[in-house]
Structures are given as C-alpha cells and as structure tokens.
Structure 1
Amino acid sequence: MRSRVLCGLAASVALLATGCGSGADSGDAGRAAPAPTATTTGFPVRVTDCAGAETAFDSAPKRIVTSNASGLEMLLRLGAGGTVIGTGFPPGKGALPAELAEQAARVPVLGAMVIPKEKLLGSGADLYVDTFADMGGMGGAMGAAPTAQEYAAAGIKHVYLRSTACAAQLKGPQQDLSEVEADIRRLGQVTGTSARAEDLVATMERQVGAVRTAVAGIAAEQRPGYFFFDFDAGTKQPIAVCGRQVANAVITLAGARNVFDDCEGDFKPVPWEEVVARNPAWIQLGVRNRGSEEETRKAFEEAERFLREFPATRGLEAVQAGHFLRIGSEATTIAGVRNADTVRQIAATVHPDLVKDGR
C-alpha cells in the first residue's frame, strides 16, 4: 500500500498542497477576464479570522504573499496578480489555464511547500493570504508559524480563506458554495477589486444554479452515495471529507450524497471497513496534478487499479460498476471559482440524463 505523502490530506492541515496542481477542466469560471485596476473605493475594509479577531485595511495592499496556489489563483482571477510578490506551494505545471499560468510563473516561489517563517517575515509583504488557519500540524522541519506579534512587527497583515481555514469550526455542513463566494468577495474588498469579485461569483452562481435546477427533482434518499478517495493521502487508512469540507458542498450541489457527510469537522481518518459499510455508488479518484498529462493519467490509473485489486474495496458497488470520476482534487476540496466547474462535471457524470455535456 502507498504510504501517506506530504501532498496528501492530513486531518489538520490537509490540502496545503494545492500547489500540486489540478487536472480538472476550468470551464466557464476558468476563463480569465482583463485584469481590473484596484480602486480606492470601499475602504476602510474590515475582515475577521476564525476566532473573530479583526483586521482593518485603509487601502489595498501593494505587496501580497500567498500560502499556496489557491490564494494565488484567486488573486489572479481578481486581477490583483500584479501585487503578488511570492507564494508557497506554487501551482504545478498544467494546473492553471494558460492565461493564468503565465502570470503565476512570474510570481517568485518562497517555498516549494510551506514558506519558512524567516523568509515570510522578511519578504517585504504587507499582506499574507493564508488558506489554512494552522501550519503547525506540518511540524518538524517546517518550523513554527509566525505569531500575531511577529506578523505585526514585520508590517504584515494576515487574512484567511475562511471556507477552508475555518471549515472545522462551522456550525453545520457546507451544502452550497456561499462560504467560497464569501472568500472571493472578501478578497475582492481587501484588494479593491470588488467589481471583478462580483463577476466571478455571478458566473459561479449561474453554473451551479443550472445544475441545481436540473437535479432538483431527485429526492434525498435517491441521491447516489459518493466517496472522495484521496489517493495521495495514502491507502493504508483513507481520509474522508466530512460535512464541513468544501467538497461536501460540491458533491451535494451535483445531486449526489457524500457518504461521510455525517462525520464531524472537515476531514477524518476512517477505516476501510467503514467505507465498505457505506458502499458508495460512485468514487472520485482524488489525484493531484503530477506536472504532465501523462503522469497525472498514470496516477489516476494507479488509484483505480488499487481499488479494483484491494480485497476490501473490489466488491464495492462503484468498483463493480466502474463508476470512477477522474477529477482533480484541488478543484473539489480547495476554495475557488473552479468549484462550480466541478459541480457541473460531477453532475454530468452521475446524472447524464439530467445534465447534458457537463452543462
């Protein structure tokens, strides 16, 4: 069996590795618009972290560092890419549409994975956009994350993508993309690109709305069970996406039922016996971009081969029927406009009679 790798999920800091890329088709929401110019209207802006602590902005930041490719991609789509001076977990080759990839390639990489504390504090940034609330789970050589006092001393304001950073603290499951859309709007306010943020959200809502309408007649008990198999997290013990994770919203909106929607938090290690007991009708092969189409294809094939050959899973309904979805992990589990594209892709596969050609 495969051992857990750094690019895989872990219960506390799962999906830090957005930089491993995604092979999912970007669809309508993936089309970049001409970069708008940040404005000074709408300030001051105040945003809060997961604990409710407030950060105020009197003007748009000029030097932004992102923790990984998800925040970077969001800023590029907002037209604020020219202010990004560094990133951790950079997007893998082929992870972004060409028009975004060219811009992303010009952003200095401050860390192939987590940005070292000293490099982040000495980067000259005035804003750090963090996809996750706690880097401490990486431990060891990754070192400790800066404290609030250290950020302040370096002149760096620190904000989060709340749909992922605060997911485990939500009062209930994520069943729509409102938290993701709020992240886009919030980052648009902070960077003075609110008009572009509204355009992105409107596009997402149109895509998701069409799917929602198409699958509206499916009763809850008739929705097929769906399991997100994070192959990159290792196969000895699978990591389930729980109700509070973004993926739960994506799966629900697509007219399927996350078989682990009842587990607490956002991610949870589960035994294979539990997966077997829930017997999903569909399985998404959670694979991250390997840097080339060929290597990514091989990874998908390896994930499928494991499920077909592993004694505990080869009898599952999904495996017997060959109901596998090859959709990149990042566009399913990390906040971004491509979540809407993934909703459409899943729905078109699971309900091809209702959602034609992915639309």
Structure 2
Amino acid sequence: MRGRLRLLALIAVSTVLAACGTSAPPQAAEGHRVDNCGRTQVFAEPPQRVVSLNQHATEILVALGLGDRLVGTAYPDDTQPPESVAAEFDRVPQLAEKYPSVETILEAEPDLVVGGYSSAFRESDGRGRESLEDMGIATLLLSESCVEGAATSGMELLLSDITMFGEVLGLREAARELNADIANRVRAVEERLRDKAPVDVFVYDSGENAPMTLGGRGVGADVLQRAGARNIFADVDETFADVSWEEAAARQPEAVILLDYLGAPVDPKRDFLRGHPLMSGTPAVRDGRFHRMQLVELTEGIRFPDAVEDLAEALHGV
C-alpha cells in the first residue's frame, strides 16, 4: 500500500511539474556533483534505494558491495553471473525480464536508477532521465553509451565509472580495490602477450542476410585488443554494426567469436557459418576455430578481465 500511494503521489507531482514547465533537481543543491552523459546529478548523501537496469550495470554495483540498497534489477543477458557476485546478484529482486514500466520502477521507491545502455532511459517508454529526475529520482548511465569517438579505451571508461559509483554510493575503498584488481589482471595478460602476433578475428553477433558484428569502438573492442586479437572490422567507427558477408569473407578471419546471450545461442550460429557459401572458405571456419563469449563480457562491466584472460588463452594459449 505504501508503494502504491507513493507511486500515485509521484505521478501527480510529475504531471504538475510538466504543466508548469519546471524541473525539480534530483537531490539537494549542495553535495557531490556528477557530470554524467550530458546530465548533472547532485547527491546530498549516498543513495539508499537503487534500481539497476541491464545486467552488466547491476554486476558492477553488486561487486562494489551495495547489498540491500540495490532494490531491483531488470533485463538479464545471462543466467549465470560471475561466481564472485552470483550469490548477491541472485538476491536482487528482478523487476522485469526486459525493461520495466515506469510504474514498476516507482513501486520499488528508488532514489537512484542506473542504466547500462542508453535504451534503459528511453523517453518514449516513460523512463527518460529527465522524466525520472522530475520525480525526484537521480539517474546515472554507464559511459560506454555516450562516449564520443575512440579516444578513451574501454578499460579506462570502466575504471572511471567504478570510481564514480564509489564516490556517489559512499563505497570509495571498494571501488579502489575493484579497479586495482581489474587493472592488475589485464596488465598481467598483456605482459604474457608481449611477443605474440595478434590473431585476426570476426565477431558474429547475429543476422543471416547481413551479419551484425563488433566495430572499433567501446569496451568490446578494447577486450579484443588487450587479449591479442585484431578485429577485422576495427575500422568501423561504431560499437556494433551491420556489415556484409562479402566483406567479412574477404578479410579472411583466422578465428570467429560467437556471441552468446539469452535468445541467441551459439550452436545455430556456428552451423550457419559452416554452411555459408562465403564464410565456410575462410581460415577460421575451415579450421573450426570458434570461441564462445557472452555478450555481457564485451560490454562495460566487471567481466572485462575475465574476458581478456579467457580470449588470450583461446587464441594464444597463455
């Protein structure tokens, strides 16, 4: 009953604010200021009730030890979170299989909503950042969804966002420890690969008429580079993009990475490539050199060092 009453009150406040053409700040005028993806948030004190949309964002918050303050998540990509966070992750209430309605979000009574992808805050669905902030709810978005160009590496984005969450949530020491672990593990892999020549790889996400693949931007591109892979579509200035089978085959990949996520298992993708008139003749498919990766491993999150380690082992045996 308390949640329903608050929901009705928040909707009423939002209607009044929209009619008056004004916006209420998400927090008090003084406090910790964060400039995030084009929006400024001010936190008078650490948020106590956080809803996190998208699995990779939720895993970061769990790894930081947010605990019972994480009151809801949504849109899982994988049924098996990393072992280090699995127990705590499973305790977080799942609000929806995909994105929840704004009414469902409000029933969780959050003072902060975190998005992993920009689609988490789609205005047409009523979850826009401005709309939520008008109702007194702060918002934060992982930086991969809004960074321009490729000047900042994926790992740098990840470490910066972990620092931001540590400061906002009052978990600075946990953020420092998590960042140090990620950086140290990745540096160790890079040292082992020092004398190894990179392997040309094609990342196959989905699509039969035209393949969706990983481009040269974002965290996934950085995972590949640090693991000793050379993405054959690194020249595409997007995070993910549709390309052509003719171009994919012409670039002669030596290995194929098959992306696995809920609703898109890898076995049909492997079979499709083996039967494809162009791809079947590439070194990767001809030699059966396939490597399975979870989509969430190539997005901004705590699986970054796991992904680098596993891919380096698959491609180079180190």
TM-score normalised per structure 1: 0.74
Shift of 1:337: 1.8
- What aligned pairs does 1:66-105 form with structure 2 within 5 A after superposition? 66-90=52-76, 92-97=78-83, 100-105=85-90
Q: Is the 8 A contact 2:51 2:110 kept in 1?
A: yes
Shift of 1:149: 4.1
Shift of 1:126: 0.3
5+ unaligned residues in a row in structure 1: which ranges?
1-42, 291-295
Q: Name whichever structure is richer in strand by fraction.
A: 2
**Tell me, what secondary structure is at the counterpart of 2:258?**
strand
Structure-2 residue corresponding to 1:155: 136
**Tell me, what secondary structure is at the counterpart of 2:125?**
coil
Q: Provide the rounded CA distance (Å) in 2 between the counterparts of 1:173 and 1:325.
A: 28
- 1:304-342 Cα shifts (integer Å, max 9, x gaps): 2211112121111101111111222211x2111211111
Structure-1 residue corresponding to 2:248: 275
**Tell me, what secondary structure is at the counterpart of 1:79?**
coil
Shift of 1:254: 0.7
Is 1:313 aligned to 2:290, yes or no? Answer: no
Q: Which of the numbers 166, 169, 177 marks the counterpart of 2:146?
A: 166
Structure-1 residue corresponding to 2:21: none
Is 1:56 aligned to 2:42, yes or no? Answer: yes
Q: Which has the larger radius of gyration?
A: 2
Distance 1:304 1:119, change over 3 A: same
Q: Provide the rounded CA distance (Å) in 2 between the counterparts of 1:101 and 1:342.
A: 17
Corresponding letter in the other structure for 1:125? P
**Tell me, what secondary structure is at the counterpart of 2:294?**
coil
Q: Provide the rounded CA distance (Å) in 2 between the counterparts of 1:174 and 1:350.
A: 25
Corresponding letter in the other structure for 1:46? R
Q: Which of the numbers 286, 289, 293 marks the counterpart of 1:327?
A: 293
Is 1:341 aligned to 2:314, yes or no? Answer: no
Q: Provide the rounded CA distance (Å) in 1 between the counterparts of 2:200 and 2:153.
A: 15
TM-score normalised per structure 2: 0.83
**Tell me, what secondary structure is at the counterpart of 1:200?**
helix
**Tell me, what secondary structure is at the counterpart of 1:326?**
strand
Q: Provide the rounded CA distance (Å) in 1 between the counterparts of 2:285 and 2:294.
A: 19
May I ask how many residue pairs the two structures share in their alignment? Answer: 289
Q: Provide the rounded CA distance (Å) in 1 between the counterparts of 2:67 and 2:299.
A: 19
Please give the root-mean-square deviation of Cα atoms over the aligned residues, in Å. 2.3
- What aligned pairs does 1:230-241 form with structure 2 within 5 A after superposition? 230=205, 233-241=206-214
Is 1:112 aligned to 2:97, yes or no? Answer: yes
Q: Which of the numbers 41, 45, 51 marks the counterpart of 1:65?
A: 51
Q: Is the 8 A contact 1:121 1:151 kept in 2?
A: no
Q: Whose relative contact order is higher, 1 or 2, with alpha carbons under 8 Å and at least 6 apart?
A: 1
